A and B are shown apart, each in its own frame.
Chain A
Amino acid sequence: MNITIEIVQNSTIVSPEGDIDTMQSTKLREVLKPILSSDTNKLIVDLSAVKYMDSSGIATLIEALQICKQADKSFGICGLNEGVRSIIELARLDTIFVISPSREEALIA
């Protein structure tokens, strides 16, 4: 799994590519860990290149959200395709996560 990290205006944008399943969610968690303990103000996970996500991917995002909340940082996700959106809705997390259509909108959300 390729994961790109960009720093834009005090925010960190993490963009994983491919499927976030049991095997790949561990890699995403490892990439997020140092970012969550850094001094970034906002973490955005851009999911526009993610075709599939299972409950382990959801768990990784919830974990990141909770760490951000505790550290008074903002957390958002963007670029959800239909499949990823449907699992987030199924898990009733669409009102818990700040969801933006694009990374540009996520930066100002």
Chain B
Amino acid sequence: MSMKPKATPSKIIVRLTVHASPIWFSTIRNLVINICRNCGICDRTSGSIALALDEAVSNIHRHGYHGSSDELIEIQIEAMQACNGVPWKVKICLEDRAAQIDLEKIKSRDIEDIRPGGLGVYLIQSIMDHVDWSYREGGGMRLVLEKYGDPISENVDVCTGKTQD
């Protein structure tokens, strides 16, 4: 009896190092949106992931590097298509060389307190399924963001050609 080979999902890994300058932020957003779309992730979710990444790089620029655009941010984006019933997954890792801060101090502000500013961490945590700040080896901070496809959403399973249900 011959067995049909199992289809394998396509996985993309993109690594980039950019100056922490706001002039690069829209390029980074568009890159992650295109990667997500190519993995079959809907436009709304792709846009949300781009927003979370944008908030993360903005925080590094504003708070980590105190507005300086001379320092570097290393970004790794890994995205895997939905396949054989396993939902898609996006993992983004950001590393900087900013001063290490007390991890306990990184927290979302009270959202009911209506005031300008301080929304970045709240948005990142609301959008992503897993958010983890840690210390980078050799100095600096490391942030890992993960988002997983919802098995009941209508994202196309690239291996079966069906929508996940």
- Choose among B48, B114, B117 the residue that contacts A96 (Cβ–Cβ < 8 A): B114
The dominant DSSP class at the A interface is: helix
Query: Which range contains the number of A residues in contact with the other chain?
Result: 20 to 34
A82 and B44 contact, CB distance less than 8 A: yes
A87 and B123 contact, CB distance less than 8 A: yes
The dominant DSSP class at the B interface is: helix
- Choose among A19, A63, A83 the residue that contacts B26 (Cβ–Cβ < 8 A): A19
Asked if B119 is at the interface (CB within 8 A of a chain A CB), the reply is yes
List residues of chain B with CB within 8 A of the CB of A21.
22, 25-26, 29, 54, 58
- Choose among A22, A87, A92, A93 the residue that contacts B22 (Cβ–Cβ < 8 A): A22
B119 and A58 contact, CB distance less than 8 A: yes
Interface size on B, residues (CB 8 A): 26
Assembled-state Cα–Cα distance A56/B58 (Å): 9
Assembled-state Cα–Cα distance A36/B102 (Å): 39
B127 and A90 contact, CB distance less than 8 A: yes
A55 and B26 contact, CB distance less than 8 A: no
Assembled-state Cα–Cα distance A100/B47 (Å): 23
Assembled-state Cα–Cα distance A75/B63 (Å): 30
9 A/B residue pairs, CB under 8 Å, sorted by A: A21-B26, A23-B22, A52-B29, A55-B55, A55-B117, A60-B116, A87-B51, A90-B127, A93-B114
Report the 5 A-B pairs with minimum CB-CB distance, sorted nearest first: A59-B116, A23-B22, A55-B119, A22-B22, A62-B116
